[in-house]
Amino acid sequence: MRDFDLLEPKTIPEACGMLAAGEDVRPVSGGTALLILVKQGLLRPRSLVNLKKLEGANAIRRDAGGAVRIEAMATIHEVETSQVVREHLPVLAEACHQVANIRIRHLATIGGNLAHGDHQSDPPGVLVALGAEVELSGAGGTRALKLADFLLGTYETALEPGEMVTAVTVPPVEGRLVGGYLKFTTGSSEERPCAGITALVRLDGDRPVEARLAVGAVASRPLLLCEADPAEAALEAMADRAAEEIDPIPDLRGSAEYKRHLVRVLGRRAMAAAWAEAGS
Amino acid sequence: MRHLINANVNGRERELSVKSNQTLLEVLRDDLRLKGTREGCSVGVCGSCTVLVDGKPVSSCLMLASNAEGKEVLTIEGLGQAGNLDPVQQAFLDHQAFQCGFCTPGMIMAVKGLLNENAKPDEAEVRDYLSGNICRCGTYVEVMAAIEDLTAKP
């Protein structure tokens, strides 16, 4: 692998100071995405800032108000197996379990996953469906941004120079969310998603008050559709609308036409499953 | 740039001087001459470089060596040696769960990681866990038989 200097800050302010030094200083956490880019010569950093040794940067907690806060250096496996996540955000645990393979899930971090901005990934779409926010820290302090506004496109995020993702927070749910994540790969099971569909129904008691459909991995950023007071008849229309609105990126996993069709079929399937769960 | 790290490798405390851009795999193979861990794809897909770090399987080709600081690293050499094999190694032998053997150290370390997490996995859990370990010879049936043997024992 091409040479670089690995800088090892102990605190977040120290890390942000290092990151502010310039474009050729990049942060690295699990390394599962970034080191591949360095190995392939697509990225030629002078220095990498190692965020893996920051103290206490992997905690997962639910506060008194019901918001779940995941510190950025939590590994995908830690998110997937967290009792808090399994109990309160089971769809996130389900999606994280389907990321790559077990070895990658033990290395890769949730913050790295989001900051990398790769659209072909499972967690971003689910987190957008959950209305997640990211916390960004830099020399000027911290700010919070809706994940949907943070993800600008493939490998593009709203991170400013010298900033890093320090946490992802899922706001409390009014009522109860049911539904799940449907991953489709055109290769082997542990491959990157060709499409990742999140279908959720929010219940107030037994009454469905909102339906959410998020499409990840198809376009350069996740697409989210929400419908208030949904009726069963509206669910198929939601999937159809997603298929019309999405701007698929054609690649080895499928043509744009194929992916658009996939969004319609999987969207209907996932919404139907969520609706059935809501009624049971 | 070099980093001085302390790590336990196969039960032995080591002080290692590693380069910024060295992966754990490179340190194991090139510096410590532990050649059992193999480099296959080098992008975290094939599983040939699987080692356990604090009991958990990782792709050593994508882990910066500096991050092994304070960790316990276990490679196939530390699992067992001829005459004193680990039960997983013995089961692979008994079922001839390999052909060319290139993927075998990674496959065995992944099984070890699985059994650390879940002593009695069912077939679906085994398939799910090992889906990222590729055997080009196609010995999956024998691998499954070896694991079934291991998990059937009381």
Q: What is the mean pLDDT of residues A212-216?
A: 98
Q: Nearest C-alpha of chain A: how many angstroms from B38?
A: 15
Distance CA B134, CA B125 (A): 16
| CATH number (domain holding residue B45) | 3.10.20.30
% of chain A surpassing 90 pLDDT = 95
Residues across chain B: 154
CA atoms within 13 A on the CB side of A72: 26
Phi, psi for B64 (deg, rounded to 5): -65, 135
Asked if A102's CB is within 8 angstroms of B57's CB, the reply is yes
Same domain (yes/no): B39, B91: no
In a domain, residue B130? The reply is: yes
pLDDT in tens, chain B (154 residues): 999 999 999 999 999 999 999 999 999 999 999 999 999 999 999 999 999 999 999 999 999 999 999 999 999 999 999 999 999 999 999 999 999 999 999 999 999 999 999 999 999 999 999 999 999 999 999 999 999 999 987 6
At B90 the three-state DSSP class reads: helix
Interface probe, candidates B5, B19, B20, chain A, greatest A C-beta count within 10 A: B20
Asked if B23's CB is within 8 angstroms of A103's CB, the reply is no
pTM beyond 0.90: the answer is yes
Same domain (yes/no): B72, B102: no
Same domain (yes/no): B6, B72: yes
Show which of B33, B49, B76 is a domain's final residue: B76
Is the complex ipTM more than 0.90? Answer: yes
In a domain, residue B82? The reply is: no
Asked if B42's CB is within 8 angstroms of A77's CB, the reply is no
In a domain, residue B81? The reply is: no
Condensed to tens digits (0 to 9), the pLDDT of residues A23-74 reads: 999 999 999 999 999 999 999 999 999 999 998 899 999 999 999 999 999 9
Same domain (yes/no): B53, B102: no
Range(s) of the domain holding residue B125: 87-152
CATH architecture of A176-279: 2-Layer Sandwich (3.30)
Condensed to tens digits (0 to 9), the pLDDT of residues A217-274 reads: 999 999 999 999 999 999 999 999 999 999 999 999 999 999 999 999 999 999 999 9
Q: What is the per-residue DSSP string for B40-75?
A: SSSSSSS-TTEEEETTEEEETTSSBGGGGTT-EEE-
CATH architecture of A1-172: 2-Layer Sandwich (3.30)
For residue B154, the model assigns a pLDDT of: 67
**Partners of A7 in the β-ladder:** A49
CATH 3.30.465.10 residue window(s) in chain A: 1-172
Asked if A3's CB is within 8 angstroms of B21's CB, the reply is yes
Distance CA A267, CA A7 (A): 44
Same domain (yes/no): B61, B92: no
Asked if B21's CB is within 8 angstroms of A2's CB, the reply is yes
Distance CA A68, CA A66 (A): 6
Q: Nearest C-alpha of chain B: how many angstroms from A269?
A: 23
Same domain (yes/no): B47, B96: no
Q: Report the number of distinct structural domains present in chain B.
A: 2
| CATH number (domain holding residue B91) | 1.10.150.120
Size of interface A-B (CB pairs under 8 A): 85
Closest chain A residue by Cα to residue B23: A1
Partners of residue B114 in chain A, C-beta under 8 Å: 102
CATH 3.30.390.50 residue window(s) in chain A: 176-279
Partners of residue A188 in chain B, C-beta under 8 Å: 131
